[in-house]
Amino acid sequence: MGITARGVGLLVAAVVLLAAGFRFAYPELTLLGAAAGAAVGYAALVAAWRPHLTVTRRADPDRVARGELASMTVTVRNTGRLRSANLLAEDRCGERTVPVPLLRVRPGRDTEVRYEVPTHRRGVVPVGPLRVTRRDPLGLVALARPYGPTAPVWVHPRIHPLTAVPTGAGRSLDGRVDGVPHGSITFDSLREYVVGDELRRVHWRTSARVGELMVRENVDTSLPRLVVLLDNRAVAHPQRVDGVAESFESGCEAAASIVTAAHRADLPVLLLLVGAGLVERGDDDAALGPLDRLAAAELADDEDALRAATTRLRQDRLGDTLIVLTGPGGRADLGHVGALRGAYPSVVVGVFGVAEPTPPGAAGLVVVDAADGEQFAAEWDGVRRW
């Protein structure tokens, strides 16, 4: 409960009038002081009355890409028996407040307001709760209370279409071979014999029935597994404008583009973050989708996190294609990433926000320099060696 400036002035006047009235035996001053004090007490009682309101909110949609339109609809219903007079309400939407008209809402009626949610920045925009302020008719006392739940709006990074997706690498007894779709032990179909086919692959029973040599066609059923490691260390993204590291935002866009392209190609993909111990996901983090995790990703002040992350990746061998996305401050740590080439047949590094290109063949890695996510998508599709 808060007393307004008018209420403070009236309360001080009541004390002064009462003191002067009793001190100098002026009943008129005493009466005026008592009336002023009674007015402040009445205002406190009126403001303390709690209106019966039900607040519901609906986001349309609740998950959008950065820059897309999203709106929030707030419905406030008066479930009490009295008219909700002298009420002021405002809804919290991120860093700004939105006024909600509630003046004299009748019992059983509701009021609705719809407004746009800011989506110019990636992140999770908290909306709510509704803050309702009750005032007395004289404007002496105001009491604010929260109503309704808080609903988040997930602003995902922009997704740039990628044409190429790493096909991974197959394994043979002789060592690493190129990723090819044929030649494993999984039967797929029969086809006519061509010069060069191995005779041990001839299906003699079918050949005898059709009168031509038929060979078994086998395919490799093992799918490549992509591991996307996003470097969210603050030291890797030192350049910031208005508190926002554009290189990190570009890295989030690149990670979202890769994850989306992998899902469209029905390839398993794992998204990991370097900082804040998110290499090993917890229960709450695992329940979120990769785009939601990218929306909630923040920079972490942990310079040694990359070394711990690469050690864990080397031990677990979570896939066959590793994609590391970092900023200009992460180029000095490419040696730790290069040490993973023994565990991951293909390692690609994306570096964002660098003034000068990364030296070719740095640490024996495939390095893609890009100013933003859009340029990364164009450079990514031009990579010929995974």
DSSP 157: P
State the Cα–Cα distance between residues 134 and 130, nearest whole angstrom: 13
Instruction: From first to last of the 386 residues of the chain, give the pLDDT tens digit.
Output: 688 889 899 999 999 999 999 988 888 899 999 999 999 998 888 888 888 888 999 999 999 999 999 999 999 888 887 766 667 889 999 888 888 876 667 788 888 889 999 999 999 999 989 998 888 888 899 888 899 889 999 999 999 999 877 765 544 333 333 444 444 456 667 888 888 888 888 999 899 989 999 988 765 555 568 899 999 999 999 998 888 999 999 999 999 999 999 998 888 899 999 975 444 444 445 467 899 999 999 998 887 888 888 888 888 888 888 999 999 998 888 888 888 888 888 889 999 988 788 776 566 688 889 999 999 999 888 776 66
CATH code of the domain occupying 226-381: 3.40.50
Q: What is the pLDDT of residue 280?
A: 41
Helices 246-264, 373-381: inter-axial angle, 10-degree rounding? 40
Q: What is the predicted pLDDT for the residue at 236?
A: 92
In the block, tokens 């495939």 appear at 366
Enter the pTM of the model: 0.75
CA torsion 267-268-274-278 (nearest 10°) is 150
Token pair of 135 as six digits: 């005032």
* Contact (Cβ atoms closer than 8 angstroms) between residue 151 and residue 104: no
Class of domain 53-156: mainly beta
In the structure encoding, which two tokens stand for residue 92, read together? 């919290």
Residue pair 239/247 in contact (Cβ under 8 Å)? The answer is yes
What was the pLDDT predicted at 182? 44
- pLDDT for 178 equals 43
Write down the pLDDT at residue 323. Answer: 93
Angle at 297 between CA 269 and CA 287, to 5 degrees: 55
